[in-house]
Amino acid sequence: MWTAFKRIVRAGFIGFWRNAFVSAASIFVMTVALLVIGATLLMDALLGVTLASIQDKVDINVYFVTTAEQTDIDALQASLEALPDVEEVTFTSRERALEEFSEQHRNDETIMQGLEELGENPLGASLSIRAQETSQYEGIAAFLEEQQALEDPQQPLIDDVNFVKNREAIDKLTQIIDAVETSSLIAMVILVAAAVMITFNTIRLAIYTTREEISVMRLVGASNTFIRGPFVLQGVMYGLVSGILALLVLYPIVVWLGPATEAFFQFNIFTYFVSEFGRLFFVLVGVGVVLGMVSSALAIARYLRV
């Protein structure tokens, strides 16, 4: 068995080097496919961080009337925090709201003078609500509408909910997230299918060029495994070499892009590449090897009659 294994490995390496031009063409195309897959993984990480940062800035603000009782505000906050869609609820007191408003408009003399003439705090307390997912804001807004409907018209609690104003931004963000996830999935499927077809045709060509040798091996009683083995090994070698080449090409690209992504997105893609190198190596090389094996098996099953 060990002797047969060594012969299969030797035959696989010989076939790989003997069909050097065909092997090089297959490796080149598979490297491009794996390179795009690797770039897609890095882009997904970059977009994920960017979208998460934007999502953190999107929320629903509930503004209370100035006469609202703190106990009523606390009760509504507790009800919101109990909702499964709510990630965080932040309370801002009237005093804190006035401080932030004054700090924001400290250079506007008209506004500051108007506050002094009022002689009292015109701002009410507020709650800032962040959902687990952007698609869940609709449900939270519906809950707030129900709470408003239950209020006593003579003693209202909620003055305004800014969901309608933020709806466009929330919907846009949700569409971006869905589009990125969908496009990434489609791109991955297309590239995997392309890599399989290319390697499939390469192995088929290799089988065709050695058809006479295969006939001789069959005549002398070679087993099916011995005949198939070298071609499967060639597919594995295509994937292994292509995965390593893809990583080597990605390295200088992320080194160059690292400072730019950190400046614009607060995310250094080179640092991510280094920290996740093991996972990227496993994914790219693993995908390449699996694609090579699957392509070889398909080609042999269809075109190698043994």
Instruction: Provide the pairing of β-strand 158-161 with 126-131.
Output: unpaired
Which pLDDT belongs to residue 210? 64
Check residue 255 and give its pLDDT: 92
Question: What local confidence, expressed as pLDDT, does residue 250 receive?
Answer: 92
Name beta bridge partners: 63.
126, 160
Query: In terms of Cα–Cα distance, which of 250, 294, 287 is closest to 43?
Result: 250
pTM for the model stands at 0.63
What letter represents residue 120's amino acid?
E
- The DSSP bridge pattern shows strands 86-92 and 158-161 to be unpaired
pLDDT of residue 287: 85
Mean pLDDT for each consecutive 10-residue tract of the chain (306 residues)?
61 64 76 83 80 72 87 90 89 87 79 77 86 82 86 83 68 73 76 71 68 67 68 80 91 90 84 91 89 75 55
The arrangement of secondary structure in 59-164, i.e. its CATH architecture, is 2-Layer Sandwich (3.30)
Cβ atoms of 244 and 27 within 8 Å: the answer is no
Two structure tokens written together for 247: 């990583």
| Confidence (pLDDT) at 306 | 47
Residue 163 to residue 59: CA distance in whole angstroms: 8
Beta bridge partners of 90: 128
**Which pLDDT does position 175 carry in this prediction?**
77
**So where are the chain's domains?**
2-54+173-303, 59-164
pLDDT at 100: 83
131 three-class SS: strand
Q: What is the pLDDT of residue 3?
A: 59
Rounded to whole angstroms, the maximal C-alpha distance in the chain is 106
Bridge-partner residues for 129, per DSSP? 60, 89
